[in-house]
Each structure stands twice: as structure tokens, then as C-alpha cells.
Amino acid sequence: MKENLIHYRTSVCNINYHVVWSVKYRRKILNAEVEAFLKQLVVQIGNDKGFTVQLFECGNLDHVHCFITAPPKLSVTTIVKYLKGITGRKLFEQFPDIRFKLWKGELWNHSYYCETIGSVSEENIRRYIEYQSKSY
């Protein structure tokens, strides 16, 4: 009797997140060169860890906006831990002078903001991230 049973996997959609985090002490260190390196690094981390970075922008040289699509098995806490931890270490390696602009050698604030995005507001969030002001 058990041979006739067929197991069907349920299809679960990916979840969209708008994630924002800032530089410690709001130091203005995310210039064009750092942003280009950071963008490439964040996309690579996403590919390695199983999520997609749809958009990435730095705002006012001191904070980061990401529009991320991830499977439900990855929690947003895990995603942010990957992004902040790996980028902090790699940025200090690539740009050692950044460390001297920060006390205690920490790059990112401990906090972050995350918002789950539905399909209705997805376009609004994309537009918001794309039009972050640049001061360089």
C-alpha cells in the first residue's frame, strides 16, 4: 500500500527584503571606490550563500541599502550576519586606512533595519534605493 503513495513538494516563493545598516559612528567613509568594491563583494556573498542582491546603494557615504531576495530557509538575521561580517573584514583588508577613522576598529553599527517587501510596494522600494543621494 505504501508503494502507491507519492510525495509532492510544496513550492514556496522567495522573500524580498529591504535591509539598511550604517557605518559605526555614522562616519562618512563609503566613497565611490569603497562603494564599488562593496557592491561587488555583497553580490558575491549573496551568490555564495544562496540569496540574490537585486539592488545595492550607499547613501550619504555612511549607510547601505540592499534589496535582497532569499529563500525562506535563510533568516534575515543570518543574511545580515553574512553581509556585515564578511564585508567588514574584507573592507579592512582592502582599505586599511578606514580602520583609523573608526574607534575600536569596528566598521558597522550593531543594529540594522529590515522590511519584508510585498509585490505591491516592490517598485516603490526599488525606486527609493536607486535614488539614494550621492555626495561625491
* Catalytic positions, written as ranges: 128
Distance between CA atoms of residues 70 and 13, nearest Å: 9
All three cell numbers of 80: 545580515
Distance between CA atoms of residues 71 and 13, nearest Å: 7
Distance between CA atoms of residues 96 and 54, nearest Å: 28
Crossing angle of helices 76-94 and 32-49, in 10° steps, is 140
Nearest to 10, CA basis, from 52, 70, 72: 72
All three cell numbers of 109: 553599527
